[in-house]
Chains A and B, each alone.
Chain A
Amino acid sequence: MKTKKKIAWGDYITYIGVTAAFIAVTALKNGGALNRSQLGLLVPICAYITMAISLNLTVGVLGELSLGHAGFMSIGAFSGIIAAMSLSELIPSAGVRMAIAMVTGAVFAGIFGFLIGIPVLRLRGDYLAIVTLAFGEIIKELINCLIVGYDSAGLHILINFDGSKTASDLELLEGGKAIIKGAQGAVGTKTIASFTAGYILIMIALFIILNLIRSRAGRAIMAIRDNRIAAESVGIEITKYKMMAFVTSAAIAGAAGALYGLNYSSLTAAKFDFNTSILVLVFVVLGGLGNIWGSVVAATVLYILPEALRSFADYRMLMFAIVLILVMLATNSSRTKALFEKLKSAKKEEEQ
Chain B
Amino acid sequence: MSFSFERGKLAAVPSGSVIPERDLDKTPILETRHLGIDFGGLHAVQDFNLTIGRTEIAGLIGPNGAGKTTVFNLLTKVYQPTKGTILLDGNDTAGKTTEQINRMGIARTFQNIRLFNNLSVEDNVKIGLHNQEGYSMFTGILRLPNYWKQEKAAHERALELLSIFEMQDQAGVRAGSLPYGAQRRLEIVRALATNPSVLLLDEPAAGMNPSETAELMENIVKIRDLFQIAVVLIEHDMNLVMNICEGICVLNFGQVIAKGSPEEIQANPAVIEAYLGRKKEA
Report which A residues bind B (CB closer than 8 A): 1-4, 207-208, 211-212, 214-220, 222-223, 225-227, 229-238, 244, 290
Contacts and interface: CB of A to CB of B under 8 A. Distances in A.
A234 B199 CA distance: 12
Interface stretch (B29-37, B84-92, B123-131): B123-131
Interface in B112-165: 114-120, 122-123, 126-128, 130-131, 133, 135-137, 139-143, 147, 150-151, 154-155
B245 interface: no
Interface stretch (B186-194, B229-237, B247-255): B186-194
B120 A234 contact: no
B269 interface: no
Given A1-B155, A223-B130, A234-B127, 9 more contacts: A3-B172, A211-B141, A214-B140, A226-B118, A226-B119, A227-B116, A227-B117, A231-B127, A290-B118
B137 A215 contact: yes
Contacts of B135: 215-216
A344 to B, nearest CB: 12
> Which DSSP category, helix, strand, loop or mixed, fits chain A's interface?
helix
A237 B148 CA distance: 23
A212 B140 contact: yes
Contacts of B126: 216, 219
A226 B172 CA distance: 17
A131 B29 CA distance: 44
A222 B176 CA distance: 14
A216 B140 contact: yes
Contacts of A212: 137, 140-141
Nearest to A224: B116
Of listed A207, A211, A222, A223, residue having the most chain B CB within 10 A: A223
B131 A235 contact: yes
Contact of A244 (B102, B137, B143): B137
B13 interface: no
B127 A233 contact: no
Given A220-B127, A223-B127, A229-B78, A2 B140 contact: no
Interface of B: 76, 78, 97-100, 102-103, 107-108, 110, 114-120, 122-123, 126-128, 130-131, 133, 135-137, 139-143, 147, 150-151, 154-155, 171-172, 190-191, 193-194
A238 B102 CA distance: 13
Contacts, number: 109
Nearest to B135: A216
B127 to A, nearest CB: 5
A235 B133 CA distance: 12
Contacts of B133: 216
A222 B130 contact: no
B122 A4 contact: yes
A223 B37 CA distance: 29
Contacts of B142: 211
Contacts of A2: 172
A215 B115 contact: no
B130 A235 contact: yes
B110 A222 contact: no
B140 A235 contact: no
7 closest cross-chain pairs (CB), A and B: A215-B140, A3-B172, A235-B102, A226-B116, A230-B114, A232-B98, A217-B137
A253 B167 CA distance: 41
Contacts of A217: 136-137, 140
B118 to A, nearest CB: 5
